[in-house]
Every structure is written in C-alpha cells, then in structure tokens.
Structure 1
Amino acid sequence: MSTNVKLSWLDQKPGVNRGVTWGIPWEKGHLKKTDSLTLMDSMDTEIPLQSWPTAYWPDGSVKWTAHAVSLMDDSLAESYQVKKGEAATLEHPLIVTESNQFIEINTGDLTYIVNRSGEQIISQVHDGEQLVCEGGYLKGIKESSADTDGVVITKQEAFYSDINSVIVEQSGPVRAVVKVTGRHKVVTDQRKWLPFTLRLYFYKGQYTMKAVHTFIYDGNPHQDFIKGIGIDFQIPMEGPLYNRYLRFAGDDGFFHESPKGMLTWRTKGRYETLYQDQMEGKPIQFLDDDQPFVNLLDDAATWGNYKLVQHSADSYAISKQTKNGCSWVHAVSGNRANGVTYVGSESGGMAIGVRHFWKKHPSSFEVKDLAKRTSTLSTWFWSPEVPSMDMRHYDTDTHVKSSYEGAEEFRSTPYGVGNTNEITVGFYSSTPDQKELQSFVLEKESPALLVCEPAYYHRTSALGVWSVKDESTPTKAKLEQALDEVVQFYMNEVEQRGWYGFWHYGDVMHSYDPIRHVWKYDLGGCAWQNTELAPNYWLWYMFLRSGRDDIFRFAEAMTRHTSEVDVYHIGEYTGLGSRHNVVHWGCGCKEARIGAAGLHKIYYYLTADERIGDIMDEVVNADYTTEHLPPMRAYYPKDHFPTHVRSGPDWAAFCSNWLTRWERYEDTSFRDKMLTGIDSLKNMPYRLLTGPVFGYEPRTGELMFFGHENHGHHLIMSMGGAQVWMELAEVLEDPEWLDMLAEFGAFYNLPTEEKAKQTGGAIPGDKPWGTSMLSSTLVAFAAAYKRDPQLAKEAWQYLLEDDTHWQIKSPLKINRTNDYVKPISEVKNISTNTASQWSLNVIVCLELIGQYLEPAMQENTTLANKY
C-alpha cells in the first residue's frame, strides 16, 4: 500500500485563507513513529505541515496521524496529498512564549496575550502595533428563587470566569492550542461553580482564532438556574461616532448600523452618498462647508447599545437603545440569524461567529457602549432575554410500566452533564465588506476539513468492519438506495420536527406515535435517543463509506451532543450516561454504554478534536462506577462479588474505552485489563455463550462465572458490542477470540432444543435469545469465519425478509398528512432503534457476506475467509 494519501475538501474549497486540522489513518506497519510526512498540493508544491500521531497499532506502527496547515490564497487547491518526507518549514513560524503571568502567541501579524490567572482570560490582542482587543472573559447570570409564604422571590447574580490552570497543548510551528480551565465565580458570595474548559486555537498567518467552550453543570436544578452564559470581548473604539460600525448577520444578508447614523431629515444629495459609504463601512471625512450637517449629526440620537436575540429556531429580533435607562427600539425581525457580529471603528475591529447559532437557540449577541472608548461585545450561548434554563425533571415520579422508563429509582439529575459551543473570532484592520463577512459566516458554520477517499479509509482497516458504497448489482443498488433513504429521512426530520435547541441539537427521537403524528416526546423511555442502539456508529460508517458532507455534519452534531449532554463528566455517575428519556439526563439507568469511547472516536480521529479526546479519557475508568451503581441492581442484590456486569453492553463498553485508551497512548495496562476479561470468557463453561451476567472485579477486569441464561442476550451486540468486538478481532489477531465470536453468531438463533443439545442442557432457555435482525452482524461474522453459505443466507434473511417491527422496508412508506398543527410527512412504523441497527447491520453484512446477496451468485459460492 502506498503511503501517498490523497486528500480533498469535505464540501468545497475555502474561498479565503484558512487554518485546517484533520486526521489520516494508516494501515498496520506502513508508518513508523520515526517517519516524517509532507504535504503537496496538486502542482507538487510543498506546503508547511505540522503532524502528530493520535493512535498506534499493537506493533508500534502509527495507526492515525493528525495534521495542521495554514493555507493562504496561493496555496488553496482542490486537492492535496500527504506522503513520507521531510515537511517544508516556515521561514517565520508561529511562536508561543510562556511566562509565570501569561502566555504570548504570535501568529505573525496578530499577537495574543492569555492570562494564567484571574477573571480575564485574554488580556490583549494586537495587530502589529494596533490594540484590537482589550480583554476577553466568560460570564453569566445565576438565577435563584425562594417561596416565602406563597410569594416567589427571584434573585439574579452575575458570575465570571476564574482561571485555575492554563496549559499549552501545542506550540506550533503551524498551530498552537492553549487550554484554559477553571470555574465561574459568583460576584455576590464568591461561590465557584460551573467548571469550564476553554480551548483557544491559533494558526500561523491567520486573522482568526477559534475557541471551544465547555461548561459542566454542578448546581441544584431546583435552586440554581442559569439565566445566561456566554463570553465577552472588549474592543477599543477610535474616531468619530459616525465612523464606528456594527454588523449583524441575518437570514441572508447583514444588518448595518452606526451609533451615529448619517440619516437626518436633511440627508440629501452628497450626504446620501456619504450615508451609503457609511453603510459600506467606509470612513467619512467632512469638509469645512459640511459644518451645518455636522451640527445636525451632533443633535441626532446616539445609539450606543444593540442586541440580536434568537428566541427560537425560527425567530430572532434586533433592537437598539440609546443608553441605559431608555427603552429598546425594535429594528427588525427574522427567522434564522447566521450568528455573526462585527464591531469596529476607523482602526479596525472584531467579528465573532457562533457555530449553530440558531440551531442551539436561545442565543444572542449584545453590543454595549459603541459611543465610548471601549465597546463590549457579548456572545450569549444561552440568552438572558429568555426564561432561565430549566434543568429539573419533567415529573416527580418514574413511569416504568406505562412509559418504558428504565428503573423505578429516581435518578434524574443534570449534575455533571456538559455543553460545548464553538466560536470563531476574526480581527480586521478595516471594516470588512459583505462578501468577506459572508465567507466568515460560512467558515465558522462549516469549518474547512480535508478528508481521504472512502476506499482509502476502508483499506486501512483502522475503524473496524464496514463496507464502502457498492451499487455493482441490482440488489446491492437497492440496499444502497435504502440506506440513503433512511439517513435522508432522519436529516429531514431534524428540520421538520425542529430537533434544535441548546440541550437538544444533535439528538434524534426514539419512537413514533402515528396517532398524534408526533415522535413520543413525552413518553418516558421513548423520547430522546441518547445513543440507544448505536446511531453514532451508523452515521459515521455512512459517512466513511460515502464521503458525503451532509452526513458528516449530521454525525458531528450527534457526536458533540451525545458526548456532552448524555454523559456525566463529574460526580457519582462520572463516565456513565443516561438511557433514553423525555429529559436527556432523566433515566434512572446510568450505564457505561451511553458514553462508550467508540461512539465518538471516529470524529476524534477525523478532526483531532481535543474536547472529544478529554471525554474519551474521562470514561476509561467507568467500570469502577459499577461498584456503587451496579447495572444489574434491579435483578441481583449485592453479594460476594464486587459488582455484576453483562458481557454486553457493559463489558463491551469497557472494552471500547480501554481499546481507545490503548491505541491512543500505548497504555498497556488497559490492554492487559481487556485481555484479562477475554481470558475470563475463554475459561467460562461455554465461553461467550455463558451468562451474559457475570461477577466483576473492576481492579483487575476479571469476569467471574455467575450462571447460565441469567438475563437477555440482545443487548450484547445491539449497543455497539458487535462493532467493538469485531474491531478487537482486527487488532488482537487472537484465533480463539475469533472463534468465540463466530461461535456466538452461529449459536444465537438456534432453536432452544438445539442450544440445549450443544451445551449438554446447560443453556436450554425458555425463549429465543432476542430479535434476530440485531444478531445479523455476528451471524455474518460467523458465516465469513466458517465459510458457511447457510449462515450467510440466514443473516440476509433476518435483514431483508423477516417481517417483524425490527425491519426497514424500502421504499419507506411516507405518508403526507394535514391532521397536525402543520402539514407533515411521516413514516408511521419508524423507530430509531430499528433504523440505526438495520442500517448498521446492512453495512457490515455487505462487507462480510456481500458476495452471497444476489440469487444468481448463491450457487457454488465460496465465502472469502476474511479472518
């Protein structure tokens, strides 16, 4: 295999300079740790490249690399390639200088000063000698209420960032990353709460800085309400008020204003031209004979404050105010603001863009003091213009029997969940025109990313078992059409159903109610999906096999949401997540499977996103949490075992975490812990067929025999276990582990009498092990391993012929109805469990037993022995 890797843009080539970071997988043994890599454009011109490893194969060769490049106009090409060789060097690299008080990042024209302590995170930004930013800090508003004799008293308190540590994670020459952590400090009582992480990204020669902001909720949801949370930047203002500028990105164009607009009742002739120049951001100069008009401007109102509030996914409003204490004047309303604001004066200014601005409503921008020496640009991730966040549960009781909620225990708590937001900050020496600001909008919303060809991703075997898109036969073409149809249906549903909002964007719902024509948003265990049955794997494999940018963005949003909101980052449930519920953190079942590293690592490897890296580190010891919260506590009381876990999804999720840790850091302690569990299973009476519940020792990873047929079996592979275990098979190259997986796949759907016969009556069972469609991946694995055409036929039968509710029939029966608040299209029998698992199983079966799909090919077909 050649080490020359072709790269292209995820969607389209950027229109202007860009800093880009991306990841590349490598086949086992093809890239050594000592090998250097270089980047070439389509004209074979070398471009300075910064590279680092992000994962390793067991033999020590590099499995994944990450790369950063700063592309200027003359180096923007349609395609590139990475190959072995010394990277081109920068004559003037990005420079990071550290001291006890601050860190200085010099990208060329721009110099950033990041404080190591205090409230202010960014103290200054200079463009050459010009000061363009006087400070940046996190802020928010805490709201609490008390009921005294029936009178509710509400209290609001401001809080600001308080730095705990600042670490330089990368220091160039192309890219630098600074990680700032701390808590927010409440002004009135100095209480510290809401732990935060703010990562700042810098690229050589670029005029933008990216920031990724995460906060963790650690309050009491019945008392501590977040009224607003965001980030402030202070911008020095110079020159006359009529040469100061404000821009808000609206639905398509921009809202242009100045604190001292040129419009008076006598703005005519030459002054109309000057007025137009002002709206275009051109500095205005008056002549001596313009004094009468200047006097009129002196008399005109000065608009010092502005705000844009995105109240919902479909409504925003812009208003302005002359000064504090006066009324706000409504300017314009719209639907979906594009989430960019620019503030500047004669000496230049600053733009800030919030990714998914309207999708993660309620959000807002507020600009204060445009007429003063320093203006403040506030970016609110949660706008204080709307009611406070309500983190309480939707009820005071659980509803297990009626609503499929997971446990009688009331464990609905947001304590420990997180939310991450991305912003881009741009600095300008003069007011940018509309075209330049529109490019800024596009870049902050869909950051440029270089990707490999699907066939290359597949060839490396670096991400488990999946198939590339293949329409070479009529049946395969129909399956590909069905796969595309299902994923397109869900992307359409996000818009049709309005699956947007600060705590919701990125998730989809679980089950559909055709009577009300809605998803079961209010039925306990059937509302938000929360990674149930591994939709993350489905979407990422759909991207890898197709290269489609829309699927990438869909999967990216799900990854960002499910890794933060559905998982606990601090507190007693650290490393665990919440099963599907009306409220994302509502279900009493707190389990490791919800936040397993494998659900997120594909995004990490493709983008090198450090926040996802943090989260995958957080879950590595999730198995210890099962000692005080056993996943099987509702079935088995505490006994002589430290805890009880199932081989899947519990131990499978642990393996996902450990495998990721091992390959990222070459941490053999977690490899050994995983191997201990595998050895335990090898020594069970019937290996992987045993159980599936075992005694478990978190300190060693040992699984201990606990009996046969002691719980259901379908969760073993349907929560991502099949994907994790097949990836282990690729990595470990352990013949007995391969044989165990194949044995499980071949055994799963046998009649109970045959199960009893093969195990001497130890596993008789009183019912089938579970939904056959869910097992088709491991049945296909067994077919490929054993070269068994009959098993292959059975696997396809479960997917294509089995007429149960666990089935997707293409084309989808889409019904158009007006019997709702608005006309909608619906699929009455849809469920995300079925959609994700059916699609995922088809993708794997096309890889393992695709050659046995066409009827004409079934005769005299010998399955290739992949293993």
Structure 2
Amino acid sequence: MSELSRRNLLMGTAIVGAAGALGLPGKSASAASDPGQVGQARWLEGTAPAATPGVTWGMPWPRGHLPADRDLAVSTADGTQIPAQTWVTGWWPDGSVKWTAHAISTPHPTATTYQVTPGTPLAPATPLSVTTGHDTIDVDTGVIRVRLATHGNALVRSITRDGRQIARDGTLVCHRADNPDSPSRRESFTSTIDTVRVEQTGPVRAVVRFEGSHRADHGHRTWLPFVVRLYLYAGSDGVRLVHTFTFDGDHDRDFIAGLGIRFHVPLTDEPHNRHVRLAGAGDGVLSEAVQGITGLRRDPGAPVRAAQVAGQPTPDVSTWATTVSGRLQWIPEWDQYTLRQLTADGFQIRKRTGDGQGWVNVHGGGRATGLGYVGGPSGGLALGMKDFWQLHPTQLDIRGAAGPEASLTLWLWSPDTTPMDLRSYHDGMGQDTYHKQLDALEITYEDHEPGYDTPYGIARTSELVFWALRATPTAERFAALAAATSTPPQLVAPPAHLHAAGVFGDWAPVDRTTPAKAHIEDHLDFLVDFHRGQVDQHGWYGFWDYGDVMHTYDNDRHTWRYDIGGYAWDNSELSTDIWLWYQYLRTGRADVYRFAEAMTRHTGEVDVYHLGRYKGLGTRHGVQHWGDSAKQLRISTAANRRFYYFLTADERVGELMHALVDTDRTFLEVDPIRKIRTGPYTPDPHALDMGFGTDWGALAAAWLTEWERGGDPSALRRLRSTMRTIGAQTNGFVQGSALYDLDTGEFAVASPPAVSVSHLSAVFGLVEMCAELTELIDEPAFTREWLRYCRYYNATEAEQITEFGVSFGNLNLRQAHARLTARAAASTGDPALAARAWREFHEGGAGYGPTVSWRTTTVSPPLVLAPVDETDFVSTNASAQYGLAAIQCLALVGDQLR
C-alpha cells in the first residue's frame, strides 16, 4: 500500500466516521465516482527547469472522487512515469480526498506538463533512505549522504559524496550588539538543538525538522528560537533549507548584528585547483581560482589556463612551462571572498589574501542572485538563498580558501551593515490615555498604546539551498543552480483543474467572451500590474519589509505614506493577500504567484506574533509592521495562508495555521475594542464578547483548515457550534457580536436582539470562508442568516427596516459588498438581485467607480528621487476589495453582466 493510503487511511476513516456521527453532507468514499480523472500540473514559469533540488506541489480533487485508499502515479503528458511520493493534505467532509501533495526529485528534462492518475507509483531507482542512530539521523539520497545531529550545535554533522566529505558542521550563527548607532560590544552565538523530528522518510522526499535557539559562545544566554527544516530528495545533490527565527529580545537593548548559517568545506586540491564561484546579477558568474595562473607575466600554457578557467583539474605542474611552475610560491593565494548585498540595488564583491591584509575590490553590480561556491575538481559546496537581494542586507562569505578547510557562510542579516534596529520609531508623544490615543488616531490614523509597539514574538522565514557537488560546476551549470535557488522551480495545477475541483469557494478562470467581462478583466490586470510595479519603483524590499505593500498614496509628495501612522504598511488590510491569491488561481500567472507567495511569507511571520502576550494575533497597518496597538485575529487569519499551503504543502505555513486553532483564548488577554467600550468589561471565559466578522471569521478559517487537514474533532465541534448559534440569533449576522463560551464553543443567543453592522466585518476573509462553509457543513440556519446578511447589507433603508425594524445606518464599502448581493442572487436565482449586484459594483461606492481613469502618469526627477508611475485613484484597500468583488461577481452572476 502506498504512502497515500498507508499514512492517511486511518485519518480518512476518522473523518468519514465524524461525517456520519455529526450529520455532515456527502457520500462515503467507497462510493467515489469515476476513478480515471487526471490531475494536471505544469511548470509555473512555463518551461522545464535546468536544475532543481526537488519539487513538491499540491493537487486538488473533486468532492467524492478520490477515496483514501487510492494509489496515485505521476507521469509526463506522453505517459512516461516519474518516481513520485504522494500524501494527503486535505479531506472533503465525506472522507474523500480533497488535496494531495506530490514530490518528484528529477523532473523530465523537457516535459512542461505532468499528470497524476490512479495507479501504482513508480519508485526511484535508488529510494531515499533515513536511518536513525543514537545521536544522528542519516539521510541517503543515493547521491549524497547527509548526517544530521539530534543534539549539540551543528544541525548538519557532515555531507559526503562518493565517499568524500564535501562539508561538515552546518551551524546557525548570530552576532548581537549593544547599540546600533555606534561601535559597541559584540557577542557571538551559535545554534543549540532542542528537538529533532523526522517528518517524512521517503522514498522520494525526506523532511527533518529542527527546533532550538542560539546560545552564547561565552556565557549562558540563549535567545532567538529557531525552526529549521531540511528537505532532501532521492537522486538529488541539493538540499532545501527553510529557516525561521523568532525575535525574543529586548528591542531597546538587543540588536542583531549578524544572522546566518555556516558550513565548513574540507579542501584537498592544490590552491591553483581550488575554485570560487559567486552569482551576480542575472546569469552573471564570478569564476576565479584561489591561486590564479592566468594573466601572469609568464604563460603556463594554453591547456593549463583553459582548465583553470573552466574549473577543471589542470595538467600536472610538471607539464607547465617552468617559467611559471618554478615560481608558484610568488603567486598570491586569495583566502577570503565576500559578496554583500546591502541594498536592493547594489552588491559588492571583494577579496583578500588573509586576515590583516587589505581588501581588493573585485566587482559590483545591481541585484545578485545569491549563490556561492568553494571547492575544486574533488568536490565542493554551493550555498544560496531565495530572494537574496530582495531580503537585503544579505552576504556570502568564503574564508580559509587557501588553507585545509574553508568556511562558507550565508548571512541572512549581513554583519557588514548597521545592526538590526527594532526600536519604536517614536516615543509615544504623550499618548498615555485612551482619549489621547483616539484623538491622535484622528490625525495620523495610528492606533498607539504604550507597550503594544513591540517586536517581541515576530518572526521571519528564509529559504536556502545547499548543493554538494562532485566537482566545480561549469559557469553554465552554476548559473542554473543560482536560478533554481533564487526562484525555486514550482509545479502547479492550472486554473481549469483547480476550478473543476471546486476548491476555494467563489471564483472562476478568466473569461473574456464579452466586452463587459473583458473590460473588468482589463481592470483586474491593471491593478495587479500597478501594485507589482510599485514594489520596485518605491523599493519595498528588505529583511522585514519584503512581501508587504503600502496602504495609501500621498499625491502631494508623489510617494506612498510610508511615514504616516496607519497609512503606511498594509499588513493584509482588507484582504490584499486573498485578492492576489484569487487572481493567481484564475489566471495562473507566475508573476502574480510570486507576488502572493512573498506576501504570504511576510504577513504570516512578520505581521503576526509567535511568542509572548500577543501570540496568535496580528498587527494592524502602520509605519512599523508591529507598531500599531490593534492586535487582532483579522491579520493573523488562516484565510490568508490556506492558498499557499494547499498549493505547495509547505510545512511552515501549515504549522502557522495550526498555531491559530486555539486563538479564541486570546480574547482573555487582549480586548480588541477596549478603547471604545462604553461600559465596564472584564473578560470571562464563559462570556467573551466576540464579533461575528473579523473575530469569528478568522477563527472559522483556522478551524476549517485544521478540520480539512486532519479531521480534528475539536475544530469541527467549534465550527458547528458557533455556526449553529450564529444561526440561532434572531438577527443572525446582523446581530454583530455575542458572548462566546470557550468551553462549549457556543455563542449565547442575544436577548433582546440588536442590529450592529460594520463595513469591516466581511472584508477580512469572512465572505470567502462562508462561501466554503455553507457548502461543506450542513447548518441550514447559519446558511439562511448568512444569505440574509448578504441580501440586506446593500439593501435600501426601507428594506432593512422592514426586515430588521431599523436601518443599518450609513454603511461604507458598497462596491466591496456587491459580491454579497451576488451571493444572495446566485443562491436564490433572483435576477433582480443579480442586476442590483452589478449596479452596486459599477457605481463603485468607496471603491473604483465610473469616473476612474484607469491610467497612470509618470512623475520624473527632480520632483522625485527616481521616476514613478502614479494614479489619482488607487489605494490598496480599494484595489483588494475591487478585485475580490469583481472576481466573485463574475463567478456568481457573470452570466447576467450587461
């Protein structure tokens, strides 16, 4: 039985049992329909990659189609089978498989598409093996053998290939400074392992997870907890490393002055047969020997020079011209190299012969792809990083290249730049009461509160690859490795397959069959392209910033309001992440995927707390990602992460969503509306004031995802009980909020009922979650009340009064809520509601209406630092909600667009 069935059959059986016991809709997995459906996958960037350490991707299946005990095989479009490993990542309520993940190690050299079909999977010629010893874990890919440690400092004890040790002691390193503004004392730290867990054991893919912290080299302090995963694939000499650290220092005293990973590389070749490779911009490669024998006053011979330049072993020294061979001792040996990318637009390479000697500048350029190599014809190690220049300040160091052992260090935070400064950007300006804080909010839109502007508990994830190479690679091969490191090849299911599987709610592939639809599609393309372009024009790069976008533009200064309170970093406000992912789902565009991917990595780590008082909460938009005092579930919501997880099976994003399952308990710690309450309130675990929109919607996303992934009965219980008791409210969602019991997972039915409707309730993933929940869980009262909310949010005052006794007041975001009207129309088949939805959409209330120009103008220096394209109408809030409204209206009532 394959891993698919062996590992997941019991899980699937548990879900089927839960479905029967809880009355979930659907049929049993044994009644699954046509088993011959084919899952489609293609390369995201369109062409087969020249190199990859291995690939993993997600594949959706229609409800009731794939039973838990069905084996799956992967092949090219012409039927050539590829060794693959498959496992389940998501389930339908009937116990059938919703999502599978697939791993292949050696793609077909020319195939651009693959298919997944029922069948016996092909095993690798040499299956990957994992052997656990007393204090080590050995992973053998058939090409390299990686020995991992279960305790101590070095995560990677050794890497061997063909019986030769390529590298050893892969260790995390860190420097701490006392002061970022002037020279100060530096402390060094190295990793110490707390726990190691093997998460997958092959036959194609192995995953090993390390957890630990950084311990002082001199002293007893430990800080900066980390989670590192290593991914190894059968037949591959590359290893993917996903590195996450969490900041747990004092932001006024602890300044990271260097953060990275270091390997030691034994060197046995002669200095003139040792090679250094550094990847510059594009396909650029610096190719040098530690002891160069080209360009000398005397010529060793053309074959000698050609071999060294190519990275091949030179002919024996005895065959050289004696005018060179007799004077080798006078040729310098370059012991140290550094490539540092301190800004997004500039890298520098320099080298020197040893400690205490002067540096020689080698070259500089714009944006380095970020891969370094040291070794020789007997083998060597390459180490690089995804988004190297985007996540500056980064650095690659080679030291000891002239000695018996070199070190190769990749710095996630360069030690050559200013130490990381996470202090608050202002001193509070006297905002020591809620009255003052709310008054300041009226002018800068920043919600400040002392003690809340802390980075304690934020995190950052980086993706690295190291390659244990048999010999120095050619320049072409090295450039291919750099490209695969910088932009990892990714297989994806195309839009038509994703849509046919019925995943992710209300969306449909691009449809330009009518002028009206094409007109909206043009606008959707315009908005994505504009915001992507703004990232580069305004330099939204850097370790803590890359992946986010800005909130609001300042047309007077011709820049985004990067320095004005709550108008600065977006931090997922009004579902930017969700908009981008839906636009990717329907277009399949690689550039949109990479945009959304970077945002997922950022917003799930930097904008969310993973330790401390605010664990599980995210931070509202602001000048610093963690600076605003609004700590809320609407930012940390799993609704923003689900796409990336199911499309890639990424374990880190999976554990981020798992960590949110019990965040209903955060309401005991932080009251989201503490500043505007009119009466006394003490959090009571049996009567927590919780909103149905941004609060419950975020919890529902976490519970739904947890249930889909593993059938967690607690998550399902809380989903059903809250849905049932929302449906039991006299006014349903229009009630706005109710008292929640942590133990029972139920809302108390409000008496007397109230009407409390906010324009923000539905725009942080609630619409998207309800679209899925109402299809997956049979709670008729909940569905009825959700559709009632959808119908009446944008209804006339008279209609609201007739239905609820009072009007909802002067609500905002009418264009955004047109998609709710469309949902009501689609569910009821009411053409009048469909026409109303399109009218609301085109009128553009609080969004983009009929007077919008849909054009940009270019502003040039000296009015700005560099040319920028700007509009007189774009804001990120409006773009995200226009995008979601357009996408969902097209999917729900597109056939009635005139």
Q: Do the structures match in fold with TM over 0.5?
A: yes
Match of 1:379 in 2: 410
Which piece of structure 1 moves more, 397-406 or 366-375? Answer: 397-406
Query: Counterpart of 1:6 in 2: which secondary structure?
Result: strand
Matched, 1:212 2:233: no
- When residues 383 and 725 of structure 1 are mapped into structure 2, their CA distance, relative to the original with a 3 A threshold, is same
Query: Counterpart of 1:539 in 2: which secondary structure?
Result: helix
- When residues 678 and 136 of structure 1 are mapped into structure 2, their CA distance, relative to the original with a 3 A threshold, is same
Superposed CA deviations along residues 275-325 of structure 1, whole A, max 9, x for unmatched, are: 343122122222266344134321122211110110100011111111112
Match of 1:280 in 2: 310
1:108 to 142, 153, 157: 142
Which piece of structure 1 moves more, 254-263 or 541-550? Answer: 254-263
Amino acid at match of 1:781: R
Matched, 1:437 2:478: yes
Deviation at 1:803, TM superposition (A): 5.7
Match of 1:454 in 2: 495
TM alignment of 1:627-666, pairs within 5 A: 627-636=668-677, 637-639=680-682, 641-642=684-685, 643-666=688-711
TM alignment of 1:41-56, pairs within 5 A: 41-56=76-91
Matched, 1:623 2:654: no
2:65 to 30, 52, 66: 30
Superposed CA deviations along residues 306-363 of structure 1, whole A, max 9, x for unmatched, are: 1011010001111111111222222211111110111112311111121100000000
1:128 to 142, 147, 162: 162
1:369 to 382, 400, 404: 400
Deviation at 1:735, TM superposition (A): 3.0
Q: Distance in 2 between matches of 1:645 and 1:407?
A: 22
Q: Distance in 1 between matches of 2:411 and 2:758?
A: 46
CA contact (8 A) 1:18 1:448 kept: no
Amino acid at match of 1:199: R
Query: Counterpart of 1:316 in 2: which secondary structure?
Result: strand
Match of 1:685 in 2: 730
Q: Distance in 1 between matches of 2:180 and 2:619?
A: 29
Identity %: 36
Q: Distance in 1 between matches of 2:462 and 2:55?
A: 19
| Number of matched pairs | 844
5+ unaligned residues in a row in structure 1: which ranges? 855-867
Query: Counterpart of 2:178 in 1: which secondary structure?
Result: strand
TM alignment of 1:667-746, pairs within 5 A: 667-690=712-735, 692-704=736-748, 705=750, 712-746=757-791
Match of 1:842 in 2: 886
Q: Distance in 2 between matches of 1:628 and 1:481?
A: 46
Match of 1:858 in 2: none
CA contact (8 A) 1:808 1:834 kept: no
Match of 1:560 in 2: 601
TM alignment of 1:224-235, pairs within 5 A: 224-235=254-265
CA contact (8 A) 1:5 1:81 kept: yes
- When residues 68 and 281 of structure 1 are mapped into structure 2, their CA distance, relative to the original with a 3 A threshold, is same
- When residues 828 and 706 of structure 1 are mapped into structure 2, their CA distance, relative to the original with a 3 A threshold, is farther
Which piece of structure 1 moves more, 624-633 or 505-514? Answer: 624-633
- When residues 670 and 164 of structure 1 are mapped into structure 2, their CA distance, relative to the original with a 3 A threshold, is same
Superposed CA deviations along residues 34-81 of structure 1, whole A, max 9, x for unmatched, are: 11111122221222221100011111111100011122556x522221
Which piece of structure 1 moves more, 35-44 or 200-209? Answer: 35-44
Which piece of structure 1 moves more, 788-797 or 800-809? Answer: 800-809
Q: Distance in 2 between matches of 1:341 and 1:297?
A: 26
CA contact (8 A) 2:381 2:468 kept: yes
Match of 2:211 in 1: 181
Matched, 1:776 2:776: no
Query: Counterpart of 1:287 in 2: which secondary structure?
Result: helix
- When residues 255 and 92 of structure 1 are mapped into structure 2, their CA distance, relative to the original with a 3 A threshold, is closer
CA contact (8 A) 2:843 2:850 kept: no
Deviation at 1:776, TM superposition (A): 1.3
Which piece of structure 1 moves more, 9-18 or 200-209? Answer: 9-18
Match of 1:80 in 2: 114
Match of 1:857 in 2: none
Deviation at 1:442, TM superposition (A): 1.6
Deviation at 1:267, TM superposition (A): 3.2
Amino acid at match of 2:690: V
Deviation at 1:852, TM superposition (A): 1.2
TM alignment of 1:36-435, pairs within 5 A: 36-71=71-106, 76-145=110-179, 154-252=184-282, 253-263=284-294, 265-268=296-299, 270-271=300-301, 274-284=304-314, 285-287=316-318, 290-397=321-428, 399-435=440-476
Matched, 1:793 2:828: no
Q: Distance in 2 between matches of 1:116 and 1:369?
A: 28
Query: Counterpart of 1:498 in 2: which secondary structure?
Result: coil
Superposed CA deviations along residues 489-522 of structure 1, whole A, max 9, x for unmatched, are: 1111111111111001111000000000000000
Matched, 1:506 2:547: yes
Match of 2:29 in 1: none
CA contact (8 A) 1:807 1:834 kept: no
Q: Distance in 2 between matches of 1:274 and 1:195?
A: 49
Superposed CA deviations along residues 69-108 of structure 1, whole A, max 9, x for unmatched, are: 122556x522221111121223421110001210000110
Amino acid at match of 2:780: P
For normalisation by structure 1, the TM-score amounts to: 0.94
Q: Distance in 1 between matches of 2:68 and 2:295?
A: 68
Q: Distance in 2 between matches of 1:159 and 1:710?
A: 56
CA contact (8 A) 1:116 1:163 kept: yes
- When residues 296 and 463 of structure 1 are mapped into structure 2, their CA distance, relative to the original with a 3 A threshold, is same
Query: Counterpart of 2:785 in 1: which secondary structure?
Result: helix
Amino acid at match of 2:733: L
Which piece of structure 1 moves more, 448-457 or 410-419? Answer: 448-457
Which piece of structure 1 moves more, 562-571 or 632-641? Answer: 632-641
Q: Distance in 2 between matches of 1:804 and 1:604?
A: 32
Deviation at 1:750, TM superposition (A): 2.8
User: How large is the Cα RMSD of the aligned pairs?
Assistant: 1.9
Query: Counterpart of 1:176 in 2: which secondary structure?
Result: strand
Q: Distance in 1 between matches of 2:58 and 2:759?
A: 34
Matched, 1:814 2:856: yes
Find runs of 4+ consecutive structure 1 residues off by over 6 angstroms: none
Query: Counterpart of 1:685 in 2: which secondary structure?
Result: coil
Q: Distance in 2 between matches of 1:430 and 1:273?
A: 19
5+ unaligned residues in a row in structure 2: which ranges? 1-33, 432-439
CA contact (8 A) 1:662 1:670 kept: yes
Deviation at 1:770, TM superposition (A): 2.7
Matched, 1:595 2:636: yes
CA contact (8 A) 2:724 2:781 kept: no
Superposed CA deviations along residues 105-148 of structure 1, whole A, max 9, x for unmatched, are: 0110210100000001111111021111122110010111499x
Amino acid at match of 1:341: G
- When residues 831 and 240 of structure 1 are mapped into structure 2, their CA distance, relative to the original with a 3 A threshold, is same
CA contact (8 A) 1:301 1:322 kept: yes
Q: Distance in 2 between matches of 1:824 and 1:170?
A: 47
- When residues 640 and 51 of structure 1 are mapped into structure 2, their CA distance, relative to the original with a 3 A threshold, is closer
Q: Distance in 1 between matches of 2:512 and 2:246?
A: 46
Match of 2:531 in 1: 490
Which piece of structure 1 moves more, 398-407 or 270-279? Answer: 270-279
Amino acid at match of 2:287: H
Query: Counterpart of 1:510 in 2: which secondary structure?
Result: coil
- When residues 432 and 73 of structure 1 are mapped into structure 2, their CA distance, relative to the original with a 3 A threshold, is farther
- When residues 17 and 327 of structure 1 are mapped into structure 2, their CA distance, relative to the original with a 3 A threshold, is closer
Superposed CA deviations along residues 225-245 of structure 1, whole A, max 9, x for unmatched, are: 000100001101012111111
Which piece of structure 1 moves more, 634-643 or 56-65? Answer: 634-643
- When residues 272 and 288 of structure 1 are mapped into structure 2, their CA distance, relative to the original with a 3 A threshold, is closer
